[in-house]
Amino acid sequence: MSFRIRGLEAHPFTHLYGLPDAELANHGAKRHIADRPNALPDRITMRDAEPGDAMILLNHTYQTARSPYHGTHAIFVKEGATVPYDAIDEIPPVMVHRLLSLRGFDASDMIAEGRVVEGRVAAAAINDMFEHPAIRYIHAHNAGHGCFSGLVERA
C-alpha cells in the first residue's frame, strides 16, 4: 500500500516572514533561531533547522474536522520556506529520528487505530495501518512534545 506525506503549504504563514518580534507576538507567534541541529522541525520542508536558521513557532489547526479530535498545537515553520515536501513511500527527514505517534482516522474523523513507533520504522507501521480499509488518513505527531508532524494519506 503506497502512502504520501506532504509538508504544509507555505502561504498561510508567509505573512509572518520578516515581521519584527513584537508583531509576531501580536499573531501569537515567536521567532526562534536554531542553535543546534535536529531540534526545530520545519513543517513545510519537513527538515530540521540548521543552526542559525530562523524558525517561527505558532499555533496551527492540524485537525479541522468537526469531531472530538478537532485539534491545534504549536508547530515550527522555517522563515522563508516556500516549497513543501512531497514524497510517496518515503518518511521525511524530520520524522526519521523521532519517536512518532501515528493516529489513524476513519471516515467520521474518529481515531480507529493508534501506534507509537520509531520514525525509522514508520513506513512499515503506516503500510500496516492502511491495510485496514476503515483508516482514511493518518496524523503523525512527535510523541515527546505532542506536536503535529504531518499528514499521511493513501497514495
Under 8 Å between Cβ of 99 and 120: no
Q: Which structural domain, as residue segments, surrounds residue 100?
A: 3-154
Give the burial class of 94: count Cβ atoms within 10 A of its Cβ; 0-12 exposed, 13-18 middle, 19 or more buried.
Answer: buried
**Whole-angstrom distance, CA of residue 38 vs CA of residue 25:** 25
The pLDDT value recorded for residue 47 is 97
Count of helix runs (H) and strand runs (E) in the chain: 3, 9
Residue-wise pLDDT for 29-73, tens only, equals: 999 999 999 989 999 999 999 999 999 999 999 999 999 999 999
Number of domains the chain is built from: 1
**Whole-angstrom distance, CA of residue 97 vs CA of residue 24:** 30
**Whole-angstrom distance, CA of residue 47 vs CA of residue 49:** 6
Going edge to edge, which strands form the sheet with 54-63?
A: 30-33, 54-63, 71-78
Overall pTM surpassing 0.85 (yes/no): yes
Mean of pLDDT values over 123-148: 95
